[in-house]
């Protein structure tokens, strides 16, 4: 998606393309931008659970948040906890809280984050659905 911000160098309009994607089973984020007024240009990309908050907020604002819900019969807690810990590097307590949320209201986040979570659950044979959080 494309966003505009103020250029730190000249005060002009900085146009940036931002996004998240999955590569090699990991969550990546990237941003690339150019100022319309001066030669300032930026390109950043990184992986891990720590997508910059500006990107995490912009994506759902543009496309709407996504919600992940566990599907099918109630799965055992063990594969759910393992999948969440493997996918996000959560502590056991954090994984338990996240698993509880997935069973009740569903997890919400960006579409890519929820698809990554669903893929991690699927590797542990736990079915999950991802849908618009507005549904």
Q: Choose the final residue of a domain: 40, 63, 86.
A: 63
Q: Which residue range is the domain that position 41 belongs to?
A: 2-63
Q: Are 99 and 80 members of one domain?
A: yes
In the chain, the number of structural domains is: 2
Give the mean pLDDT of 15-38.
92
Q: Are 55 and 79 members of one domain?
A: no
Kindly state the tokens that stand for 109: 């986040």
| Eight-state DSSP code of residue 39 | S
pLDDT in tens, 28-84: 999 999 999 999 998 988 986 578 888 888 888 888 899 999 987 888 899 999 999
Q: Are 71 and 113 members of one domain?
A: yes
Q: Are 10 and 58 members of one domain?
A: yes
Q: Choose the final residue of a domain: 30, 63, 96.
A: 63
Find out whether 60 and 29 touch, Cβ atoms under 8 Å: no
């Amino acid at each position: 998606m494309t966003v505009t911000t103020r250029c730190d160098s000249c005060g002009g309009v900085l146009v940036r393309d931002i996004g998240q994607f999955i590569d090699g089973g990991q969550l990546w984020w990237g941003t690339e931008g150019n100022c319309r007024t001066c030669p300032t240009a930026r390109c950043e990309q990184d992986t891990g659970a720590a997508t910059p908050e500006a990107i995490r907020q912009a994506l759902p604002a543009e496309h709407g948040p996504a919600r992940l819900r566990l599907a099918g019969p109630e799965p055992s807690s063990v594969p759910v906890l393992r999948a969440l810990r493997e996918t996000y590097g959560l502590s056991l307590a954090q994984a338990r809280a996240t698993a509880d949320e997935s069973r009740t209201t569903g997890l919400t986040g960006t579409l890519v984050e929820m698809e990554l979570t669903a893929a991690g659950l699927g590797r542990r044979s736990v079915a999950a659905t991802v849908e618009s959080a507005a549904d």
